[in-house]
Amino acid sequence: MGEQTIALNRRARHEYSISETFEAGIVLTGTEIKSVRAGKVSLADAYARIERGEAWLVGAHIAPFEAASRFNHEPKRTRKLLLHRSEIDELLGRTKAKGLTIVPLRLYISERGVAKVELGLARGKQLHDKRRDIAERDARRDMERQVAEARRR
């Protein structure tokens, strides 16, 4: 079956340059995992933070599960991330020393059926960096289009 990607943070790759990625588990309640499996997740405004030696996912929106009764979850609550102590220490050191931020790139269900988050160690892009990326992407798209037209002839 393989991994099943539930939510992508497409804006993260546009706003930040990602230097390294980490994989983390995420602590969810029963109604939250049901909403995740239904694909009702948004990582658009989310980021990760390390407080008191623990990693937390802040601002991720998991919609309430429609079939649940009154014991539903809070959509934007802060959720704990499961990382090894060495990973947390490394992330904390990098964010403090180099001014990097931790951004969730995607949320997925692993082969074992467990919800995971792919985190990226990111530095914010300047406006000229964004423009250069857009220009490179457009140039690559034009080249691919020209190659495809040449093959058709």
Confidence at residue 68, expressed as pLDDT on a 0 to 100 scale: 65
Span 19-46, average pLDDT: 86
Q: Where are the domains of the chain?
A: 4-126
81 is written with which tokens? 């991330």
- pLDDT above 70: residue 69: no
- Calpha distance 46→94 (Å, rounded): 19
What does the pLDDT look like over 108-144, one tens digit per residue? Answer: 998 888 889 999 888 877 777 778 888 888 899 999 9
Dist. CA 45–CA 63, nearest whole Å: 14
- Write the DSSP string, 59-81: S-EEPPPTT--S-PPPTT--EEE
**Of 56, 50, 28, which Cα lies nearest the Cα of 41?**
28
The correct CATH number of 4-126 out of 2.40.280.10, 1.10.760.10, 2.30.110.10, 3.80.10.10 is 2.40.280.10
Token representation of residue 104: 């969730």
Residue 21, helix vs strand vs coil: strand
* Residues 71-88: tens digit of each pLDDT: 777 778 888 899 999 988
Cβ burial, residue 86 (10 Å; 0-12/13-18/19+): exposed
